[in-house]
Amino acid sequence: MSSPVINKLVVIGLGLIGGSLAKAARERQLCTEVIGVSRSQQVCDRALETAVADRAVTSLADIAGELAAGDVLVIAVPTLAVAKVMAEVSQIVSDQVTITDVASVKGSVVADATRIYGQLPSQFVPGHPIAGGENSGIEAVNSQLFENHKVILTPSDSTGEQHLQRIVQLWQGAGATTEQMSVAEHDEVLAATSHLPHMLAFLLVDTLAGMRDNREIFRYAAGGFRDFTRIAGSDPVMWHDIAQANRGALVSTIDHLMGNLAEMRQAIDAGDSEYLLGVFTRAREARNHFTKMLEMKAYMEPESDNNVIFTVQPGGAVNGTVRVPGDKSISHRSIMLGSLAEGVTEVTGFLEGEDSLATLQAFRDMGVVIEGPTNQGGGDGQGNGRVTIHGVGLHGLKQPAGPLYLGNSGTSMRLLSGLLAGQAFDTELTGDHSLSGRPMNRVAEPLRTMGARIETAENGRPPLRIKGGSHLKAIDYKLPMASAQVKSCVLLAGLYAQGETRTTEPAPTRDHTERMLSGFGYPVERDGASATVRSGGKISATTIDVPADISSATFFMVAAAIAPGSDITLQHVGINPTRIGVINILRLMGANIDLHNEREIGGEPVADIRVRYAPLKGIAIPEDQVPLAIDEFPALFVAAACAEGQTVLTGAEELRVKESDRIQAMADGLQILGVDAQPTADGMIINGGDSGCGKIGSGEVESCDDHRIAMAFAVAGLRATGPVRINNCNNVATSFPGFVELAQKTGIQVTEDRTR
Ligand code: S3P
């Protein structure tokens, strides 16, 4: 730290939290001097011995006169002792000094401050670091305690901006991140996530200790007991204070839990396996979900400042036989229809990518018991992604407890909106930064015509708020754009609408929804560009084998098509006629592609695709191929850059509203790499090089948080003249977990680094 962010730092209370903050500030030189205050001379002595403070005093009065603007005073005593300390502070500390606290309950502290000062003083910034441990006191002090932890601040309208900024800087300097929320929200959230678990741990130990054979019990109480009750070793005074100070919120969470506990007791007594399996599977998955969140994985923490960077060394070829992960579109639909089915649906080959997992989690949040995905081994993808869905029927979903968070996934949001418009309950759909910028009126408008009540944010962007209990009427909808998501959304709403719902598309788009509905025994009439469903049918459980995703296979197809010496076979790839634009376009460019072992699996055609290097030439891409290759253009632009002559794409304005503006993102990156790529309103003009010699240079490009842009540039490295560095590749896991490992295995010299 180059210059201190504050002048003097006074910490009243040198326990675990206060002492650790004092020591962190001192070590990181966040202030000019750290002064500790403790009533105990022994603690003061220890603070000096262990370098927790520069000075330590037993009374605030000894130093209060020295404090002025730019100084910070931290009240780090147990919650119910804050009032007494604050009363003293209010008498002797100048109103220029910034004051904060670290108590676990904010309502009581803010009430104390208001009472003592007559109003909430502008110098006071209520705070709560979400850090700690079961050990307490100055001996437990740890200057790294706040590293990568959150600190919640609950400022009010009257809090002075300079005071707030000083506290933010102090905590950030100590390694924490800060967040702001209201006092009431803080106390409710903490009652559930911290206070309740502590009450349970204390009570469980106390209950067992009070049982007659307690010695025997404790002798055998190893793993589970130890894990569950670790926090019962925490400071009793601190927890006594919290229980009293957050009485209201804590009582209501306890009531909620007691209801569920009574239900569980009954289920255990009655041997109700479905109930038990439901609770355990949902809880285990929710826990994994939260763990990801805590680890700041891209799925739940897209805004995190973790930057995954791909670096590709130039040259090489791709060879071998590989299987890429399961089809994203089919994986989403397998969860949706499996959940609405009657009976148990078994899925294999499910894509364990963050997008399809977002759909899976959404259905769990609506009460569906879904086991898996479990990995059955098999190395190259075979046997992976086993999911068992205990369908609840078309009318069996339950209202989720909060908004459904769909990460980066447009397919989840658009298909779910149709399905949820027909439910009896309200829902809210949210997503990450990229999804929050994507157009949703294309689904909201037809759904409103059907009678759905849907609100969007400004300009038709997420979040979507969908009112339950609407009586939907069927429509005959002519899609204004070629979009499988919009078509599927309307058809799914049609399952709940009175009458006959028909969609007519301007050009063929992927028809997985129609095929899968039929596979689940739900009648869908298809007539040219139209598809029709009626409500009142039944979805019957089935088995689904998800083929490998042709959109993921595309990166290796293009890799082999551009890198001399390549010969790769991609196994078990879905070659649904509405998805094979990439094969058609690459063949038109001169690529050497053979399909082997063509077969039909569960209503979807599948083949092994072999691609051998052959020189490519530029073409005018036929517009009728655009919807059939809509996700493949980032990679196809790279193929065009390596082709001899000009490639022109038109009629592809939809690319501008994908996970990023894919026309701009690719044109920008290709230009950085020295490629003559000119973006147009609805496509791109790329002037490739002479065949056989790479025209792609070296450089640093942005993926714009878009998985397919990141992977396309990784492939470009094969024909680059120097290293290619690709920033912000976090989202690759949305569609292609394990991309880097598979790319390395085939011969692409890509490595992955994570920076902050
Ligand atoms: C998808 C449809 C396409 C595609 C997306 C998946 C689907 O979107 O880009 O990755 O599963 O229905 P549009 O329908 O918006 O073209």
Question: What's 211-260 look like in SS3?
Answer: CCCHHHHHHHCCHHHHHHHHHHHCCHHHHHHHHHHCHHHHHHHHHHHHHH
| Closest residue by Cα to residue 501 from 463, 465, 473, 538 | 473
Q: Determine the topology of domain 311-318+548-755 in CATH.
A: UDP-n-acetylglucosamine1-carboxyvinyl-transferase; Chain (3.65.10)
Closest atom of ligand 1 to 329 CA is 11
**CB of 735 closer than 6 angstroms to any ligand 1 atom:** no
Query: What is the per-residue pLDDT for 294?
Result: 52
User: Has residue 670 got a pLDDT over 50?
Assistant: yes
- Grade residue 63 by pLDDT with cuts at 50, 70 and 90: very high
Q: Do domains 311-318+548-755 and 328-545 have the same CATH topology?
A: yes
CATH code reported for the domain at 328-545: 3.65.10.10
539 is written with which tokens? 């979805």
pLDDT in tens, 337-384: 999 999 999 999 999 999 999 999 999 989 898 888 876 443 344 456
Closest atom of ligand 1 to 484 CA is 14
d(CA 325, CA 600) in angstroms, rounded, equals: 18
CATH code reported for the domain at 8-181: 3.40.50.720
Atom 4, ligand 1: residue with shortest CA distance: 631
User: Has residue 620 got a pLDDT over 90?
Assistant: yes
Q: Where are the domains of the chain?
A: 8-181, 189-271, 311-318+548-755, 328-545
SS3 state of residue 138:
helix
pLDDT in tens, 85-99: 999 999 999 999 999
**CB of 485 closer than 6 angstroms to any ligand 1 atom:** yes
Query: What is the per-residue pLDDT for 302?
Result: 39
Could you write out the DSSP letters of every residue in 573-601?
Answer: EE--TTTTHHHHHHHHTT-EEEEEEEEEE
150 is written with which tokens? 């959150």
d(CA 99, CA 101) in angstroms, rounded, equals: 7
**CB of 503 closer than 6 angstroms to any ligand 1 atom:** no
User: Has residue 299 got a pLDDT over 80?
Assistant: no
**H or E element that contains 685:** strand 683-687
d(CA 406, CA 421) in angstroms, rounded, equals: 17
Q: What average pLDDT does this structure show over 232-236? A: 89
User: Has residue 747 got a pLDDT over 70?
Assistant: yes
Which residue is listed with tokens 């930064």?
433
10 Å Cβ neighbour count for 78? 18
Q: Give the mutation target among 552, 604, 630, 663 for probing the ligand 1 site: most ligand atoms within 8 A of CB.
A: 630
The mean pLDDT of the chain is 93
Q: Determine the topology of domain 189-271 in CATH.
A: 6-phosphogluconate dehydrogenase C-terminal fold (1.10.3660)
534 is written with which tokens? 């009626």
- Grade residue 694 by pLDDT with cuts at 50, 70 and 90: low
Tell how far the Cα of 631 is from the centroid of ligand 1, in angstroms: 8
User: Has residue 317 got a pLDDT over 80?
Assistant: yes
Query: What is the per-residue pLDDT for 314?
Result: 96
- pTM here is 0.69
Query: What is the per-residue pLDDT for 306?
Result: 65
**CB of 483 closer than 6 angstroms to any ligand 1 atom:** yes
Which residue is listed with tokens 């719902």?
501
**Quick one: CA dihedral 526, 527, 531, 535, positive or negative?**
negative
- Grade residue 289 by pLDDT with cuts at 50, 70 and 90: low
Query: What is the per-residue pLDDT for 291?
Result: 66
Query: What is the per-residue pLDDT for 420?
Result: 98
Q: What average pLDDT does this structure show over 631-650? A: 97
- Grade residue 385 by pLDDT with cuts at 50, 70 and 90: confident
- Grade residue 686 by pLDDT with cuts at 50, 70 and 90: very high
333 is written with which tokens? 């639909």
Query: What is the per-residue pLDDT for 214?
Result: 75
- Grade residue 287 by pLDDT with cuts at 50, 70 and 90: confident
Query: What is the per-residue pLDDT for 209?
Result: 85
Determine the residue type at 506.
P
d(CA 226, CA 231) in angstroms, rounded, equals: 9
- Active-site hit among 631, 661, 705, 706: 631
Query: What is the per-residue pLDDT for 212?
Result: 76
**CB of 701 closer than 6 angstroms to any ligand 1 atom:** no
Helices (H), 535-678: 550-562, 581-588, 633-641, 662-672
520 is written with which tokens? 């689940």
Q: Give the mutation target among 354, 413, 483 for probing the ligand 1 site: most ligand atoms within 8 A of CB.
A: 483
Tell how far the Cα of 355 is from the centroid of ligand 1, in angstroms: 12
- Grade residue 40 by pLDDT with cuts at 50, 70 and 90: very high
User: Has residue 397 got a pLDDT over 80?
Assistant: yes
Query: What is the per-residue pLDDT for 377?
Result: 43
Percent of the chain with pLDDT over 90: 84
Query: What is the per-residue pLDDT for 380?
Result: 40
Burial classification of residue 117, based on how many CB atoms lie within 10 Å of its CB (0-12 exposed, 13-18 middle, 19 or more buried): middle
**CB of 411 closer than 6 angstroms to any ligand 1 atom:** yes
543-545 sheet: strands from edge to edge: 369-374, 386-390, 344-348, 543-545
- Grade residue 170 by pLDDT with cuts at 50, 70 and 90: very high
Task: Look up 631 and say whether it is catalytic.
Answer: yes
**CB of 23 closer than 6 angstroms to any ligand 1 atom:** no
**CB of 510 closer than 6 angstroms to any ligand 1 atom:** yes
**Quick one: CA dihedral 126, 129, 134, 136, positive or negative?**
negative
